[in-house]
Amino acid sequence: MVRPDFGKAVGGSLSFGHLPEPTDWTPQDAVKNPLLTMATTFAYVGGSVMGYIVYANWIGLHRWGLTGHEKISVIQRHAFTQDTINYLPEDPAQANQLRKIIAPLRWDVSIGAIVLFIVTGAFMLSGAAVLYPLQTEFKGWSLLTEQAHVWGNIHASLVWVYYICIIAALWGTLQVLPEIYARVMQEFFQAIWPDREWDYGRIRRNVCVYIFTATMIIVWLNVPFDILTQVAGFILANFSIALMMLAALYLNFKLPVLYRTRLPMLVGGLVSAVILICFAGISGWGLITKLLG
Structure confidence at residue 277 as a pLDDT band (50, 70, 90) = very high
CB 277 within 8 A of CB 243: no
In a domain, 6, yes or no: no
DSSP state of 233: I
Helices (DSSP H) in the chain: which residue ranges? 6-13, 28-32, 34-46, 55-62, 72-81, 92-101, 103-134, 143-154, 157-192, 200-221, 225-232, 240-254, 263-292
DSSP state of 20: P
Distance separating alpha carbons of residues 44 and 22, to the nearest angstrom? 21
In a domain, 141, yes or no: yes
Residue 244: pLDDT over 80: yes
What pLDDT score was predicted for residue 46? 73
pTM, to two decimals:
0.78
In a domain, 116, yes or no: yes
In a domain, 8, yes or no: no
Q: What domain range includes position 221?
A: 28-292
Structure confidence at residue 226 as a pLDDT band (50, 70, 90) = confident
Q: What are phi and psi of 212, to 5 degrees?
A: -65, -45
In a domain, 218, yes or no: yes
Largest CA distance in the chain: 66
DSSP state of 207: H
Distance separating alpha carbons of residues 241 and 129, to the nearest angstrom? 31
What pLDDT score was predicted for residue 141? 67
In a domain, 9, yes or no: no
In a domain, 197, yes or no: yes
31-73 tens-digit pLDDT: 888 899 889 988 887 766 666 767 777 777 888 777 788 888 8
Q: Is 10 exposed, middle or buried (0-12, 13-18, 19+ CB in 10 A)?
A: exposed
Residue 247: pLDDT over 80: yes
Q: What are phi and psi of 199, to 5 degrees?
A: -80, 125
Any residues with CB less than 8 A from the CB of 77 and at least 6 apart, and which?
194
Among 187, 220, 214, smallest CA distance to 203 is for 187
What pLDDT score was predicted for residue 288? 92
Report how many domains make up the chain: 1
| Per-range mean pLDDT, top range of 9-13, 106-110, 191-195, 263-267 | 263-267
What pLDDT score was predicted for residue 239? 92
